[in-house]
Amino acid sequence: MSISHGKITAIMGPSGTGKTTLLRLIGGQLYPNQGNIRVAGQDVHQLSRPALYHLRKRMGMLFQSGGLFTHLNVFENVAFPLREHTKLSDAMIRNLVLLKLQMVGLRGARDLMPSELSGGMSRRVALARAIALDPELIMYDEPLAGQDPITKGILLDLIRTLNDALGLTTIIVSHDVQETLSIADYSYVIADGRIIGKGSTAAIHENHSEQLRQFIQGLPDGPVPFHYPVKPLEHDLIEESYG
């Protein structure tokens, strides 16, 4: 799998196929059992801890859960990476935080605590924090989850605009197939530990793989089973009845 510089790459697939795990591997949170991952020419998992931390400063990450600090308000959540990794003045940090919050439509919520935010608002605050340091690589883990249709459109436009205006490299993990394909330059669809489809949006739609088509079209019947592997129901019922 190759992620092109300056492009938006989507990684999609059924639940439990390892999409979030892949992002954690790229960020060095997890170590692979085999193979290697290179970011900006560096083998992530061969780096020393200081070198890994330095590389991470060039990355932004929007976590699936949002990951806000519950004891800090919205403003301080977004300010945290700026305070941690820069020597900017308080006045400069204030201006940058307000600019980032303005981009996600939440400048007016800067004094709220995470417990006062809806799920969608929390995700948008987390996005503002992810772009606080103007990273070269930004990874979005389900950025559209919990968003209403209007906010989805705004976030999609923001992701595309940020990528193009700042020359970012963007990776999006998402279950929102059509929305994600609408802004992706290249997409990978993974399942069963392998890539089952890749290419431009047109190439994904034209792929005749039954497994890929089931996922893209959201079909209830196909190669991807609904049930987690288990013995037939009647076996469990008999065992429960007769011990």
Over the stretch 210-231, which tens digit does the pLDDT of each residue have? 777 776 766 565 556 555 667 7
Structure tokens, 128: 């503002």
| DSSP SS3 for 73 | coil
Q: Identify the DSSP state of 4.
A: P
- Distance, in Å, from the CA atom of 127 to the CA atom of 66, rounded to the nearest integer, reads 8
Structure tokens, 84: 């941690």
| pTM to 2 decimal places | 0.80
Examine the pLDDT at 61 and tell me if it is beyond 80: yes
Ordered structural domains, the chain, with CATH: 8-242 (3.40.50.300)
Over the stretch 125-175, which tens digit does the pLDDT of each residue have? 988 998 898 899 999 998 887 778 887 888 888 889 888 888 889 999 988
Examine the pLDDT at 196 and tell me if it is beyond 70: yes
* Average pLDDT across the chain, whole number: 85
Question: CB atoms < 10 A from the CB of 94, how many?
Answer: 15
Do 191 and 26 contact (CB within 8 A), yes or no?
A: no
